[in-house]
């Protein structure tokens, strides 16, 4: 008898497979990052087509095949619909998913990274703070979550407000991250700090970031 596994997760990316199928990369609360096939999801009217859209968050019922998971049922609870209607916002979301994909592994405890990604996508949809600030917060906090944050270099000449914002990002819970705004001067310094940490700790070129930079 087939055994099923139920996981809560966010789709990071999807890839067409063959004529009718897709493979999704899923960041889950229970099993870290996993891949799963969604059979027949490219057929017109497929009930599982919603199980392949990047950013989608929900509950996935899986069964294990010989070499991979397969999606049997899905209950999507948040599609982050505004990102599907906002070209620039979508690329921010894809960039965050690329970083989550870079940092996470199968069978690791990735709850904090999944929570960070979820809250960051919510912030992009809410438009309560500017996207470049959300990006800087996400980049810095993802390094913190991964246990790589080295502290603030003593020779940095930052304004007191920027130092406070950096400390807040590092020390605050994920749920309280996106609750503040900053001046243009502080945002500029935060972006420079985030870029420094990103270049130091993320040894990969991110396609979505390249597109975002071309848009800016």
Among the candidates 23, 54, 78, a domain finishes at 78
In the predicted model, what is the mean pLDDT of the chain?
94
Neighbours of 116 (CB within 10 A): 24
What was the pLDDT predicted at 49? Answer: 86
What was the pLDDT predicted at 3? Answer: 85
Q: First and final CA of the chain: distance in angstroms?
A: 54
Does 74 lie in the same domain as 88?
Answer: no
Does 134 lie in the same domain as 47?
Answer: no
In angstroms, the CA 117 to CA 81 distance is: 15
What band does 84 get if pLDDT is binned at 50, 70 and 90? confident
Distances (CA, A) of 101 to 104, 115, 160, 163: 6, 14, 34, 29
Encoded tokens for 145 = 């979550």
Distances (CA, A) of 1 to 34, 39, 69, 98: 23, 19, 16, 36
pLDDT tens sequence across 182-192? 999 999 999 99
Here the CATH number for the domain that contains residue 18 is: 2.40.50.140
Among the candidates 78, 93, 124, a domain finishes at 78
What band does 51 get if pLDDT is binned at 50, 70 and 90? confident
Q: Which residues of 24-34 are buried (b: 16+ CB within 10 A; e: fewer)?
A: bbbbbeebbbb
| pTM for this predicted structure | 0.95
Bridge pairing between strands 21-28 and 57-64: unpaired
pLDDT tens sequence across 87-102? 999 999 999 999 999 9
- Report which of 26, 88, 89 is spatially closest to residue 58, judged by C-alpha positions: 26
Average pLDDT over residues 23-38: 96
Here the CATH number for the domain that contains residue 128 is: 1.20.1440
Instruction: Tell me the residue range of the domain where 10 lies.
Output: 4-78
Among the candidates 58, 78, 98, a domain finishes at 78
Does 99 lie in the same domain as 24?
Answer: no
Does 181 lie in the same domain as 113?
Answer: yes
Report how many domains make up the chain.
Answer: 2
Question: Is 99 in a helix, a strand, or coil?
Answer: helix
- Report which of 129, 135, 104 is spatially closest to residue 179, judged by C-alpha positions: 129
- Report which of 106, 33, 36, 101 is spatially closest to residue 72, judged by C-alpha positions: 36
What was the pLDDT predicted at 64? Answer: 87
Average pLDDT over residues 196-206: 95
pLDDT tens sequence across 112-154? 999 999 999 999 999 899 999 999 999 999 999 999 999 998 8
What was the pLDDT predicted at 1? Answer: 56
């Amino acid at each position: 008898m087939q055994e099923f596994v139920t996981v809560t997760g966010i789709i990071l990316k999807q890839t067409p497979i063959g004529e009718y199928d897709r493979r999704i990369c899923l960041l889950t609360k229970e099993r870290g990052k996993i891949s799963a096939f969604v059979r027949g999801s490219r057929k017109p009217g497929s009930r599982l087509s919603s199980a392949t859209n990047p950013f989608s968050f929900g509950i996935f019922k899986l069964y294990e095949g010989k070499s991979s998971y397969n999606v049997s049922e899905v209950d999507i609870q948040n599609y982050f619909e505004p990102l599907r209607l906002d070209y620039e916002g979508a690329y921010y979301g894809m960039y965050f998913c690329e970083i989550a994909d870079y940092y996470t592994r199968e069978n690791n405890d990735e709850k904090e990274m999944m929570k960070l990604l979820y809250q960051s996508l919510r912030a992009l949809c809410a438009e309560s703070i500017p996207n470049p600030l959300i990006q800087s917060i996400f980049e810095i906090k993802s390094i913190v979550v991964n246990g790589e944050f080295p502290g603030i270099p003593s020779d940095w000449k930052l304004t007191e407000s920027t130092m406070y914002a950096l400390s807040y990002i590092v020390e605050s819970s994920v749920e309280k991250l996106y609750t503040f705004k900053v001046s243009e001067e502080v945002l500029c310094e935060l972006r420079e700090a985030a870029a420094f940490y990103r270049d130091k700790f993320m040894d990969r070129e991110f396609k979505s970031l390249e597109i975002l930079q071309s848009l800016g």
